[in-house]
Structure 1
Amino acid sequence: MSDASDATGVRDGLTDVAGLRVGHAEVPGPGALSGTTVVLAPEGGAVAAVDVRGGGPGTRETDAL
């Protein structure tokens, strides 16, 4: 059995996964409450899933997963 702390990386986040690229952008300015996060998998793809509890996802393309 391994301890959960054994599996953490430098930042303990998605960017610790080899080959995975993560980016974020937001609309600047007052009243602009909008942004996006993009996760690009390495060549060959990845498995994706979503779990939305108590509300709707902030996307129109969740069914594509």
Structure 2
Amino acid sequence: LRAQNYVTVVHGKTSERTVFALEKFTIPDDKQLVIEIAEKEGGRHQSFVVDNEDIVRANVIDELSIQ
């Protein structure tokens, strides 16, 4: 697992982006990958499902070049 621009605090009226890179894997048909983001001491939470077909179509990164 790698993370680029790993952000732990997002200040008001701003936005941030973190990119996570994982080893390529597949998910069995009866399972799903759910990503959840929760606001600390707050009520805002977001989640989304990553389908197996999205993972299968993902590109493999042999070398990570960060500028």
Which of the five TM-score ranges fits, normalised by the shorter chain?
A: 0.3 to 0.5
Choose 1 or 2 for highest CA Rg.
1
Higher helix share: 1
Q: Which has the higher contact order (CA 8 A, sep 6+)?
A: 2
So what's the TM-score if we normalise by structure 2? 0.33
